[in-house]
Chains A and B, each alone.
Chain A
Amino acid sequence: MDDLERILGYADAIDQSAPITKVADELFVMSCWTPQFCTALIRAAEVAGGFSAQPGDPVPGHEISLALISPRLFEAVQDDMGMRIWPQLQQHWPLIDYHGINDVFIIKYEKGGQEELRQHHDVAQVSASVKLNDTYEGALLDFPRQNFTNAQLPVGSLLAWPSLVTHPHGSTPITSGVKYSLTIWFELPISLS
């Protein structure tokens, strides 16, 4: 199994070892991807390049969308989230409907680059973060209102929360190493008749 098969074929990706678990108020964790797939994602993102903040972005992130790496990969992730992850979230949030993914992107944190991400909300229905590596110090995904960080979560786990109002979050300063994390914004309900 090589990176090409993992990225373009979405192979060796799925980890279903841990079911959904509540870790804080309206914060849920479940296994999502294998460590091998997470590593392949990092390598693909680095090869694709383009980790940069948009000029003037008030909540800047050195990020790259999976759509830029491969629209096919974006579609595979979108399908997998709808079929595998969303039903687990519906166990706790039974009235949510799946409308696909608005964006899924990798953020890179390092000293001298993007070192932190200030507290903010997302404009989405549900947000999620997948820990792609753990060879760094600092750079905790921090939810002050819920008194929770992702420090203890294993690589490949997915953390999900309601995007607006109740779950402001940010990333604390990185102190060493390079952190890669993946963010998913699940599309808001479609309002058209």
Chain B
Amino acid sequence: MNNRYIFRTLLILGALSTLTACGTWSDAQSVPPTTVLSSTTTTPVETGISASGQRSGPSAQASQLKLLELGFWLADPNGKFDDTTAQAVMAFQKYFQLRPTGGINAATAYLLERMMIPAVATTKEGTLAEVDKSRQLLFLVQDGITTYVMNTSTGDDRAYEEPDGNTPGVMIKGTAVTPAGSFKIDRERPDGWWIGDLGQIYRPKYFVGGVAIHGSMSVPAYPASHGCVRVTVKAMDFIWDNEILPRGTQVLVYGEIN
């Protein structure tokens, strides 16, 4: 068992112990599936996996635990529907070809509850990162095993002309392409935010020219970067803190922008 699996298992076990130790939630768990906020207000199921949207609570925690079990990374399965949970839901929806709303609707809940097989990358050997441009997903693979899947936003293949963030008065023209191919992490910046020519990037790991996997404050469901591979700031911290993509790690980019 590799250390990623141990980490994921500990996260899940820790959350389960919290779930049973928490009196409020234990009480909530005894409430029937379609409970109400008031006696005359319908609301979706609040225990187990349900169409709970982006609401926090026991249902969100059940979804978080299942997302982690299937390999979709999020920071903490504590029942709080944070941005990393929304990202994990988006990644799940993309993987299973649902509309990536980032909220748990009925179709998402239906599939999430029933899926038993963890998500897998195309690669079955080696340690690397896979960037699927078609599905806008980032797969982290260790020793041939897909350990985590993250929502990502790559270049959208469109032409751009924008002010140079480092040189006032200068415009930069280009095309927002995330190049396909096999590359390696060749340089990186470990700490904090950096002002790139085309915007701020967080703890980047470059793999071809100025194209990097980096943290961003905006990781929408669709291609939106100038060519870089965006993940959330928390996801980037997780990658750094767990030494998942050290210098020299392969980055495999494939697929087409739809």
Q: Interface residues, chain A, CB within 8 Å of chain B?
A: 54-60, 65-68, 71, 74-75, 78-79, 99-105, 118-123, 164, 168, 185, 187-188, 190-193
- Interface membership of B211, Cβ < 8 A: no
Chain B's interface: helix, strand, loop or mixed, by majority?
loop
Task: Known contacts A57-B33, A121-B40; decide if A102 and B51 are in contact (CB<8 Å).
Answer: yes
Task: From A54, A58, A105, A191, name the one whose CB has the most chain B CB atoms within 10 angstroms.
Answer: A58
Answer whether A57 and B44 are a contact pair too, CB < 8 Å, given A104-B106, A190-B103: no
Q: What CA separation (Å) do A100 and B86 show in the bound complex?
A: 14
Nearest chain B CB to A84's CB is how many angstroms away?
A: 15
A181, B106: Cα distance in complex, Å: 18
Contact present for A103 and B44 (CB under 8 Å):
yes
Please indicate the chain B residues that have their CB under 8 angstroms from the CB of A103 in the complex.
44, 51, 105-106
A187 to B44, Cβ gap below 8 A? no
Question: Is A123 a contact partner of B105 (Cβ separation < 8 A)?
Answer: no
- Scoring B residues 103 to 114 as 1 if CB is less than 8 Å from chain A, else 0, what string do you get? 101110111000
Using known A-B contacts A79-B99, A99-B103, A122-B41, determine if residue A67 contacts B110 with beta carbons closer than 8 Å. yes
Tell me if B22 is interfacial: C-beta within 8 Å of chain A: no
| Cβ proximity bits B21-64 to A, threshold 8 Å, 1 near / 0 not | 00000000001111111011111110000010110000000000
Beta-carbon contact of A120 and B42 below 8 Å: yes
Q: Which of B212-238 contact A (CB under 8 A)?
A: none
List CB contacts (< 8 Å) of B82-129 with chain A. Answer: 82-83, 86, 98-99, 101-103, 105-107, 109-111
B105 touches A100 (CB 8 A): yes
Instruction: State how many angstroms separate the Cβ of B131 from the closest Cβ of chain A.
Output: 24
Q: With the chains together, A190 CA to B101 CA distance in Å?
A: 9
